[in-house]
Structure 1
Amino acid sequence: MTAATVRGTGARRIPAPVARAALVAALIAVWQVAPMVGLVDPRLLPPPSVVGPMIVQLFGEAGFRGHLATTLLETVVAFLVSVPVGFILAILIGENKYTSDVFKPLVFFVFSIPKSIFLPLFIFAFGISFQQKVAFGVFSTLFIVMMLSFAAIESVRRDHLVVARSYGATRMQTVLRVYLPGMTPVLLEAIRVSMIFNFTGILLAEMYASREGLGNVIEQWGQGFQLDRLMATIVVIAAIAIVFNETIRALESRCEHWRE
């Protein structure tokens, strides 16, 4: 095959955004058609023609908007606590070889334990409250932030650290002028992944023991076999996760030049 043929073949490719949109449209079409032709029971998998109007109906209900606001507030508070705390702990541990050798294996050990088994302890400590959900969200997120921050620290060029220390930079100056700029591209990826753990932890805590929040209504509607409302809520949660993911991805692209 000649180079011209290869170039011509590449030129005929469908642009990636168009291909992604087509794939999503095809999945939605399959979702719509499957209950109609009897492949699945429409009571178990309501089609988009039912779920779409239900989403509009839910947003018209003050109760649902209150549950949504509660979940978003818990998620944001837990995220704003866990990310800087995890980053600072990772810097304190990862910057020094001795502390790294002592504490990093312990962090990886705790990360390997399923966090859901600790949820009853948080309920005993905080009760069924806003603080309990936030605390469990922080606990679910903290260790993944630290692990990914360790990788970000290792991505910082050693010669930059040597130069900074040679000129007498303080620890704070080294963190702000060397570590933070050097870590930013990897750290943004860490933030994007951490948000998934954070959001999942909050929803799990709401499903396990809560009087409000999206996790609570998912549990209630699942037990009550209100699958149209359940699927509509799942779509809303998926949309929130996608919006956050794409926002962080946009920030990553703006910081891409720092990889150099």
Structure 2
Amino acid sequence: MRWPSPASVRWTILALLLVGWELFPRTGIIPELFLPSLSKTLTVLWSDRAEYISALGVTVYEVAFAMLIACGFGILFGSLIGGLAVLRDLLLPVFSSLYAVPIVILYPIFTAWFGIGSESKIAFAGIYGFFPVMLSTAAGIRTIEPHYLLAARSMGATIPQQITRVIIPASIPTVLAGLRLGGALTIIGVVVSEMLTSSAGIGYLVTRYRTILDSPRVFAAILMILVLSVAFDLIARAIEKRTLVWQTAGRKQRIVTETGSTVPAAA
């Protein structure tokens, strides 16, 4: 018996979810106040598309800058902490403990420092996504073979050169896993902060229409958030595929067989 491919299973599950989303509200199994039908949600999304596109632009702007903070500083600090034993012993327990604290409880502090505009959302979401990126980078660096760094030092490589040419390339799989998690948390951080205090963005639309019990428009905003999350995941997967080629290219070498011919070695 031949089992269906994973892609077929995923598309089947997605189709069943969409059909159920349309049928359950229409048949009265789920009240439309709790779950409007898919067709009604899409109709509202199309009729108010200008409003939703404008709100999505605000959210994408805030997410982009927050990811620069989360990923940029996360990789930098993770490389330093993971690569230097002194910093690792001193700071890694501190950052691990801070990661366990629900960052959302600190959002009022960000609003007090930066106001209720985009700056507080960017700072909050950037810190929210910073910790998984930093901790994953530090963990990946600790798995690097010591002789790589020893060879780099013996050739006179400076610390910045060791970080950019040895540490980060060797820890790419773990770093990418942290980037995917950190990026997802950054999107969550922006949307949550927009729901709490904002006058623009997709999160603001969710809160605005929720207060007046306009379920179709709430779910239309949720659809936009899903589209943004799926787009980020596709970009992350594309980057992962490109870096996978980079990783394996350097490992391939040719070996000489007993007959004197050469064959590519396994990666």
Structure 1 residue 82: Cα displacement: 2.1
Q: State the identity as a percent.
A: 26
Match of 2:58 in 1: 70
Query: What SS does structure 1 have at the residue aligned with 2:231?
Result: helix
Match of 2:17 in 1: 27
Query: What SS does structure 2 have at the residue aligned with 1:255?
Result: helix
Q: 1:54 aligns with which of 39, 44, 49?
A: 44
Structure 1: which amino acid aligns with 2:214?
A: Q
Whether the 8 Å CA contact 1:87–1:146 is kept in 2: the answer is yes
What does 1:119-130 align with in structure 2 at a 5 Å threshold? Answer: 119-130=107-118
Query: What SS does structure 2 have at the residue aligned with 1:18?
Result: helix
Structure 1 residue 81: Cα displacement: 2.0
TM-score by length of 2: 0.88
The runs of 5 or more residues in structure 1 that have no matched partner are 1-8
Structure 2: which amino acid aligns with 1:44?
A: F
Structure 2: which amino acid aligns with 1:215?
A: G
Whether the 8 Å CA contact 2:79–2:168 is kept in 1: the answer is no
Structure 1 residue 65: Cα displacement: 2.2
Are positions 1:167 and 2:155 aligned together? yes
Q: Distance in 2 between matches of 1:186 and 1:57?
A: 43
What does 1:110-125 align with in structure 2 at a 5 Å threshold? Answer: 110-125=98-113
Structure 1 residue 97: Cα displacement: 1.5
Match of 2:257 in 1: none
Are positions 1:220 and 2:208 aligned together? yes
Structure 1: which amino acid aligns with 2:74?
A: G
Are positions 1:187 and 2:139 aligned together? no
The runs of 5 or more residues in structure 2 that have no matched partner are 252-267
Whether the 8 Å CA contact 1:83–1:142 is kept in 2: the answer is yes
Q: 1:39 aligns with which of 29, 48, 56?
A: 29
Match of 1:176 in 2: 164
More deviation in 97-106 or 154-163?
154-163
Structure 1 residue 122: Cα displacement: 0.9
Match of 2:4 in 1: 14
Whether the 8 Å CA contact 1:189–1:252 is kept in 2: the answer is no
Are positions 1:79 and 2:67 aligned together? yes
Whether the 8 Å CA contact 2:195–2:204 is kept in 1: the answer is yes
Q: Distance in 2 between matches of 1:206 and 1:100?
A: 35
Structure 1: which amino acid aligns with 2:123?
A: A
Structure 1 residue 111: Cα displacement: 0.5
Q: Distance in 2 between matches of 1:195 and 1:99?
A: 25
